[in-house]
Structure 1
């Protein structure tokens, strides 16, 4: 009869797997994302041998085959890729928690969440926000760029403190105020023949290569209506959804376009700007909740946005005056 301890036999047969080691998971994720053990080790500031040991232990501890060895490299298996999907999802959640903690810590400093239409999400809002933060160093800003149609709803539900939009907002719980109105301007590459004109008119655009906004955008609709009204024989060579994309194609020499002056921020030295007549007005509005929690900061940010817009366009006008 065997004299072996049955309790020992039970513990050997049903031993629990080791608890997951966070460092093992981190190096596993880094290897998948960086491609090699050496790069993964560099990303986590550990040695390559230490990284290799962590990966081997991860497979051993959990009974999974996460990698195949091929020509001296570790290649993820189907199990490895499946585990990475779960790990990546968990790390996204961790980052969201970290972001929430950061926001909570900053709430005693003051926080302003700004929604700005994508067309103004480049140099203009960057300059406005930098100037605002220089005056308010203890305020934390979060800039979001949803579609214009969503900004009023986000203001209403307090996802945003203040929004910059093009369309009027018909809601008694939302306040709208003018931000900046100005006619569209004609922009063109440096050295373009139309640069010799003081003012560009519809007839000047007949057959000229034109970079257009998507007609689903507010600006695109206005330009398209002008083309129809004046029977312009348009020669659209490219359509863009983003003002940054459009302006950079113009600067690169593809064609001319009609844009609001604030769209030019960031490329003003790379294009020639001329007034366009008849004028095509385009205005922007700020909107915020009637019972918003940050009214002093909202008012100051709105004032900064107006001042920055006026200053930029005044400087821009000097190039054609």
Structure 2
């Protein structure tokens, strides 16, 4: 079956925007053109993709099943377009790295600064993705390096742990819990808590501990970036439980940290596309691994 990739792009736009009209606006085309493309795609695949619902349309269950594959094709087409532009303008092919958002605001900036000292002309394409998408893109060979956090030593196949850091309680100076040498789960009650979002796989253990507290602490903010939560603590919004990588890899003026019990280590895990990894890719892995290991050693002192 030969399907025009343009039809898949239109299908993805409609799925994401929720209507033919908004998809047409995004694609800078007419509404009839989008409707015609959807009808043609339905003829090719042999099943219904959308059903009328009032003045709008509702995607079918089969459309939902097709979406992931269509998005993959769209990403491949975008990658081809990008590579054509690189070749046309004589630029080196970039190094594509996928990381979870929690890592992006902590370890990653320092690694990029160091990397560019050696390879100033290499383009770094940084993707901030959830764990599942990082795994699928690595498997497909569309990403050279993947980085993620894990709260257990059981990491996905192909990943290896390079460093670990504890969970720390992060407090503003003068907070009552600063008087404690160690903060426990029970100590959190009565305080406003800023926490990693409960949809994040590496936050499962944090949330499991919180559920053991009776009554549970007041959670006022959930987010997927530790650096964002840390900055909220600086601004007096509440206290937080963060991985040591984020805590140590930052300017901690105005903040105090305390060990947290029960102990919940964070592991930094890396995967790559050996043996196809370039020299630039190997150097980036060396740099970010060295930074993480140094932070681990600093935390142990």
User: Aligning the two structures, in what range does the TM-score lie when normalised by the shorter sequence?
Assistant: 0.5 to 0.7
Instruction: Give the corresponding residue for 2:234.
Output: 251
Q: Is the 8 A contact 1:248 1:267 kept in 2?
A: no
Any residues of structure 2 matched to 1:146-225 within 5 Å, and which?
146-166=129-149, 168-170=155-157, 175-225=158-208
Shift of 1:245: 2.9
Instruction: Give the corresponding residue for 1:310.
Output: 293
- Cα distance, 1:100–1:252 mapped onto 2, change above 3 Å: farther
- Aligned equivalents of 1:125, 1:83: Cα separation in 2: 32
Instruction: Give the corresponding residue for 1:134.
Output: 117
Q: Is the 8 A contact 1:179 1:305 kept in 2?
A: no
Instruction: Give the corresponding residue for 1:282.
Output: 266
- Aligned equivalents of 1:242, 1:197: Cα separation in 2: 26
Instruction: Give the corresponding residue for 2:127.
Output: 144
1:294 and 2:277 are equivalent in the alignment: yes
- Aligned equivalents of 1:103, 1:130: Cα separation in 2: 26
Q: Is the 8 A contact 1:179 1:302 kept in 2?
A: no
Q: Is the 8 A contact 1:152 1:287 kept in 2?
A: no
Shift of 1:216: 1.2
Report the 3-state secondary structure (helix = DSSP H, G, I; strand = E; otherwise coil) of the residue aligned with 1:276.
strand
Q: TM-score, normalised on structure 2?
A: 0.64
Superimposed CA distance per residue, residues 186-208 of structure 1 (whole angstroms, 9 cap, x where no aligned partner): 11123212122222122221222
Question: How many corresponding residue pairs?
Answer: 225
Ranked by relative contact order (alpha carbons within 8 Å, sequence separation 6 or more), the top structure is 2
Computing the radius of gyration over CA atoms, which structure comes out larger, 1 or 2?
Answer: 1
Gaps of 5+ in 1: 1-81, 87-92
Instruction: Give the corresponding residue for 1:101.
Output: 85
Instruction: Give the corresponding residue for 1:234.
Output: 217
Q: TM-score, normalised on structure 1?
A: 0.61
Gaps of 5+ in 2: 1-24, 30-76
- Cα distance, 1:209–1:295 mapped onto 2, change above 3 Å: same
Q: Is the 8 A contact 2:169 2:258 kept in 1?
A: yes
1:269 and 2:256 are equivalent in the alignment: no
Instruction: Give the corresponding residue for 1:33.
Output: none
- Aligned equivalents of 2:259, 2:121: Cα separation in 1: 40
- Aligned equivalents of 2:116, 2:163: Cα separation in 1: 21
Report the 3-state secondary structure (helix = DSSP H, G, I; strand = E; otherwise coil) of the residue aligned with 2:272.
strand
Superimposed CA distance per residue, residues 250-304 of structure 1 (whole angstroms, 9 cap, x where no aligned partner): 221111111112233445334222211221112121012344x225433322221
